[in-house]
Chains A and B, each alone.
Chain A
Amino acid sequence: MKHDFGYFIREGVGNLFSHGFMSFAAIGITVACLLIMGTFSLVAYNAEMLLRTLESEYEILAFVDDSFDEEQTKKVGEDIAKLPNVKNVVFITREEAMEAFENRSLDDYMRRNILPEMFRDRYAVYVSDLNQVRRTASNIENVKGVGKGNVRVDEDIAGGFIMVRNVAGAVSIALVAILLVVSVFIISNTIRLTTFDRRDEIAIMKMVGATNAFIRWPFVYEGFLLGFLSASIAFGLQWLVYVTVVKSIASADTLQFLRAVPFADIWKPVALSFGGAGIVIGVGGSLTAIRKFLQV
């Protein structure tokens, strides 16, 4: 028997409107769930992106013992490079360090009064995981030629973001799990209501010899439509919310350093995730609703 798409879709839409209010409520709740999931995921994503930028710029400075000669200093660099979590090691001579400092400080007085002796040869160490900066730093301290107190770490810059990323990441995973279940449950109940309304028709369809698949399809389309409508609305709202938040961050003086990913760069995966989640919720909901109904 061929798939009578037109018929199933008409029946599905009919089901949707036969419970206008319930469908409306189910869509509303599903939209809210999708928006919450989307917002947390986008926060987590942006925190991750910021962290990556930070990670690539973040350096630990390891100052080399003044008494070391060139050969020994080189050995120190090699030792550091061998440590876990160390991505890259760059050697900076005291002269270079001084020059860089001079370029950064605009104060003439300071510029005239610094001496090369105040600077030491150093290694700038780049790490691959900011989470482990503390441990990496103490490993570097143990390297011969560096020693306690000769490593500088800016832990606090990263700390805040790591927290945001980890919390938002964990929360969004938990939320996705919980809210998916909630939405499936809501949609399933809406569809169960239509199956209940239509129990006479279902009984007649079975009596005259309709296949289970035939009986199922209108409800699957109903769920699909509920999910898809929810996803479309949620996507539109998410877009609006995101753009508004990004704009207000950009115009807030204290938050300038937060560079959010523009929506234009991520709309495709966002749309795909919303659409996918919407369809999974809708079809999942309808299948759970009609599973029991089709025995016998």
Chain B
Amino acid sequence: MIRLKDVEKEYDNGTYALRGISLTIEDGEFVFLVGPSGSGKSTLIKLLTGEILPSSGRVIVNGFSLTKISDRQIPLLRRSIGVIFQDFRLIGKKTVYENLSFAMRAVGSSPRTIRTRIPYVLKLVGLEEKADQYPHELSGGEQQRVAIARALVNNPMTIIADEPTGNLDPARSLEIMRLLNRINELGTTVVIVTHERDLVNRFRKRVVLLENGLITGDGIGYDAK
């Protein structure tokens, strides 16, 4: 569960990115976070992953209180979240399989768990054939599916995606959204930041609208606000 209460974020240079946000996302929800450029969407995501701290207010993610989290607990919080970015962030000199095993190794998974988990996740994202390819040998959509597989591989409670389709054509974007929808149906909470109104409207899901650091809309469908 994600719960924000009166959250404000002022960056060191004085920019007010968030101006008092309260938001609750229950386990198992699928939420689009939309809004114009500079409205504070990425700021909100960074608060959830513990990359930055709120200036005031309370942030609770999967049982961790981000306002008083200790350095030792940050890794545990991050293991409960799978993060996906617009630019994929794969390791170029590792194969698809190695990119996934790298993420599992990093949290101390045993070789046996790694061997059984990776084929399962690759099958889920439809890349079982591509395990031994390098990222540059894949299309953008495929690379993003590897990134999704990596976000899933440690079995997180929540998937958070910051403009996952920003680099993809409409057909690939739809594919990625369908995949994330399917992952949500398997029980993972999914939060997606996106600019693509058409795409959002194809799914009848909860949409949270952020404008100028404030939530100005929250309902089903982009135009429901």
Contacts and interface: CB of A to CB of B under 8 A. Distances in A.
Interface of A: 1-2, 4, 7, 200-201, 203-212, 214-215, 296
Contact of A203 (B72, B80, B89): B89
B138 interface: no
B50 to A, nearest CB: 9
A209 B75 CA distance: 4
Contacts of A296: 51
B154 interface: yes
A267 to B, nearest CB: 41
A157 B72 CA distance: 65
14 contacts: A4-B108, A200-B89, A204-B91, A204-B103, A205-B106, A207-B49, A207-B83, A207-B89, A208-B82, A209-B76, A209-B154, A212-B75, A214-B106, A296-B51
Interface in B65-109: 71-72, 74-80, 82-83, 89, 91, 102-103, 105-108
* 10 nearest A-B residue pairs (beta carbon): A209-B78, A209-B79, A210-B106, A1-B108, A209-B75, A205-B106, A208-B103, A211-B75, A208-B106, A209-B107
Contact of B91 (A1, A201, A206, A215): A201
A7 B114 CA distance: 14
Interface in B104-118: 105-108
B106 A209 contact: yes
Contacts of B89: 200, 203-204, 207
B26 to A, nearest CB: 23
B102 A214 contact: no
B78 A207 contact: yes
Contacts of B71: 212
A207 B75 CA distance: 8
Given A2-B108, A214-B108, A208 B79 contact: yes
A207 B77 CA distance: 10
A4 B106 CA distance: 10
B76 A204 contact: no
B160 to A, nearest CB: 11
B91 to A, nearest CB: 6
A127 B106 CA distance: 66
Nearest to B81: A209
B91 A208 contact: no
Interface string B146-177: 00001000100000000000000000000000
Nearest to B50: A296
Contacts of B74: 209
B108 A208 contact: no
A135 B1 CA distance: 84
Contacts of A7: 105
Contacts of B77: 209
Nearest to B150: A208
A4 B103 CA distance: 15
Contacts of B91: 200-201, 204
B78 to A, nearest CB: 4
B51 A208 contact: no
Contacts of B83: 207
A293 B93 CA distance: 22
B35 to A, nearest CB: 23
B99 to A, nearest CB: 9
Contacts of A215: 106
Nearest to B78: A209
Nearest to B154: A208
A204 B92 CA distance: 12
